[in-house]
Structure 1
Amino acid sequence: MTWNLPNILTLIRLLAAPGVAVMFLYFTRPYADWFALVLFVSAAITDWFDGYLARTWKQETKLGAMLDPIADKAMVVIALMVIIGFSSWSPWLVLPSTVILFREVFVSGLREFLGDVAGTLKVTKLAKWKTTFQMIAIAVLFSQGVFEHYLGMSVFGMDQTMVDDIMAGREEDVLGLGWKLMGMEWAGRIGLMLLWIAAALTAITGIDYFIKAMPHLREGR
């Protein structure tokens, strides 16, 4: 095994994946959301950085090629699990997440079954875009949790009449309820839109990989 800097960064990203979930075990919200967001974004940045370094320094290795997709899938799967677990289980969130999770498991199983000919399923540019949209969507959805809980902290102790008066402009918005609510709503909308785009790209790339693998799945070959 070759432990160069790109591979070390990939390993750190892999180890950071469960850390996203651990944040919600040891910290209260919105601090857990903040820590998870920062950890996830940092890991997503290393995803680009380690690949760039490996190509630039000509340090691409079999170890890196193996760890990189595993780290990406671990980050996405665990982050989606956390987001769904702390959400209202809206079908608009659950459905695209299910497509993404199913495809990742399916393609991983397909690669394992193909064994030596798994190189047939090389990562395509569309698959890289799929991963990019997944990462951005998840980061935006984590930011929604930050806005939501800061809003909840701000309205704590207020009755509904006071909240309604502030939102309607009849009372001064000293605590910034308006921009916190707007941030929460827009982060939710944009995050869901990006997640659906990611799910569509995920499904397309999954079908593409399955078609490429078909010749190797036929009996007698």
Structure 2
Amino acid sequence: MLTLPNLLTLSRIFAVPLLGFFLWWPDWQLGYLIGFLLYCVIGITDFFDGYLARAQGTVSKLGIFLDPIADKIMVAAVILILAAQGYMSGPYVGDLHVIAGLVILVREIAVSGLREFLGGIQVSVPVSKLAKWKTTFQLVSLGALILGGAVHGQPCQEVGDMCKTVAESWIHLVGLISLWSAAVLTCVTGWDYLRVGLKHMD
């Protein structure tokens, strides 16, 4: 059922390879600027596909199926590319910032599997307010890391490197702080989902 909301959701999925293209070269600041704008468009589309589906009364099984998949594909793709190109490195712990991204990816996979299991026994798990905050921090963090690449170029790993200092790369630093905030909330909300799931497991 290819309604307008479903077409918007599909457009988000098809836009991910294009987003990955613009983020592939770590020193291409124009590419990261275009990537940031595309990332914002994808985020706006994410809001409008759900809003239109509810407003028009066209919520469909296809849309319910595709919407979380589109979100997870984009988040996973952006995290993997930013990690590969060095944009999840930063001050104090260097490459260990990647762990925050890994935590988010593991949670997304685990919760998807858990939702599939619970759906099979007709048990729904509503999205909590804390989970919405997790999503907010997650989107802000990835957007800031991309914008940092557009404004400052490839970030530094240690203060005093030839690349930008922490003070100059404050956008990148905001991205890393938001990423760790999302990772912490990911663990909390992931445990909430798991606790509900365990009640229905023999």
TM-score category by the smaller chain? 0.7 to 0.9
SS at match of 2:121: helix
2: CA distance, partners of 1:43 / 1:216:
36
Amino acid at match of 1:125: K
Structure 2 length normalisation: TM-score?
0.83
Confirm or deny that 1:93 pairs with 2:97: yes
**Aligned equivalents of 2:41 and 2:95: distance in 1?**
29
Q: Which aligned segments of 4 or more residues in structure 1 are displaced greater than 6 angstroms?
A: 180-183
Contact 2:25 2:85 in 1 (8 A): no
Matched, 1:122 2:126: yes
Match of 1:199 among 169, 178, 183: 183
Cα contact 1:79–1:138 (8 A) shared by 2: yes
* AA of the residue aligned to 2:192: D
The answer on whether the counterparts of 2:16 and 2:77 sit within 8 Å (CA) in structure 1 is yes
Give me the TM-score of the superposition, normalised by structure 1.
Answer: 0.76
1:190 matched to 2:190 = no
Structure 2: runs of 5 or more not aligned: 156-161
Q: Equivalences for 1:62-101 in 2 at 5 Å?
A: 62-87=61-86, 89=89, 90-101=94-105
Q: CA deviation at 1:86?
A: 0.8
Give the letter for the 1:212 counterpart.
Answer: V
How far the C-alpha of 1:81 sits from its partner, in A, is: 0.7
Cα separation, 1, equivalents of 2:38 and 2:14: 11
Change (3 A) 1:63 1:119: farther
**Amino acid paired to 1:205:** T
1:37 matched to 2:36? The reply is yes
Cα contact 1:120–1:212 (8 A) shared by 2:
no
- The structure with the greater share of residues assigned to helix is 1
Could you tell me which of 129, 132, 140 is aligned with 1:136?
A: 140
| Cα distance in 2, alignment partners of residues 52 and 183 from structure 1 | 39
Aligned pairs for 1:103-114 within 5 A: 103-114=107-118
**Equivalence for 2:159:** none
Partner AA of 1:206 in structure 2: G
Is 1:46 aligned to 2:45, yes or no? yes
In 1, Cα distance between the equivalents of 2:145 and 2:26?
A: 18
Q: 1:119 to 1:8 in 2, by over 3 A?
A: farther
CA-atom RMSD, angstroms? Answer: 2.8
Deviation, structure 1 residue 141: 0.4
CA contact (8 A) 1:10 1:71 kept: yes
CA distance in 1, matches of 2:107, 2:44: 23
Q: Secondary structure at the match of 1:144?
A: helix
**How many equivalent residue pairs?**
192
Which is further off, 66-75 or 30-39?
30-39
Quote the residue 1:171 is aligned against. none
Displacement of 1:117 after TM fit? Answer: 2.8
**1 CA distance for matches of 2:26 and 2:171?**
22
Which is higher, the Rg of structure 1 or of structure 2?
1
Partner Cα distance (2:122, 2:151) in 1: 43
Are the counterparts in 1 of residues 144 and 172 from structure 2 also a CA contact under 8 Å?
Answer: yes
Structure 1 partner of 2:19:
20
The runs of 5 or more residues in structure 1 that have no matched partner are 152-163, 165-179
8 Å Cα contact 1:144-1:184 kept in structure 2 = no
- Greater mean deviation of Cα atoms: 120-129 or 36-45: 120-129
